[in-house]
Amino acid sequence: MLHGDLSDNHFSRLLFRIWKSQKTGRLEIKNRIISKKLEFKKGNIIITKAQFDENAFLQKLSEKKILTSSLKEYEKLRKTNSSMIKSLIELNLLSPSYLWKLMEVYIKSEFYPLFDWTQGEYYFDSEYFPDECQILFYIHTLEYILEGIRQMQNNDLIKAYLPPDKEDIQILFPGHTNQIKFAPHEKYLLNITEKQKNLKRIYKLSELGAKENQKVIYSFLILELAGLPETKTNIQHSQEFSQAELINILKTFNKKCSFIFKYISKKIGLVALNVIEKCMEDTKAHLSPLFQNVRLEMDGRIETNSILKASLALSAEDCRENILRDLNEILAAEVLVVKRTLGNEHESILVKNLEKIS
Per-residue pLDDT of 291-328, as tens digits, reads: 877 888 888 898 887 777 766 655 555 666 778 888 88
Would you say the pTM of this structure is higher than 0.75? no
Q: What integer pLDDT is reported at residue 247 of this predicted model?
A: 84
- Please say whether the beta carbons of 314 and 241 come within 8 A: no
**d(C-alpha 182, C-alpha 191), whole Å:** 12
Alpha helices in 40-122 (DSSP H): 54-63, 71-78, 84-90, 96-111
Give the pLDDT band of residue 233 (cuts 50, 70, 90): very low
Per-residue pLDDT of 98-107, as tens digits, reads: 999 999 999 9
pLDDT at position 38 over 90: yes
pLDDT at position 235 over 60: no
Contacts of 257 (CB under 8 A, 6+ apart): 300, 301, 302, 330, 331, 334
Give the pLDDT band of residue 179 (cuts 50, 70, 90): confident
Per-residue pLDDT of 72-100, as tens digits, reads: 666 665 666 567 888 888 888 889 999 99
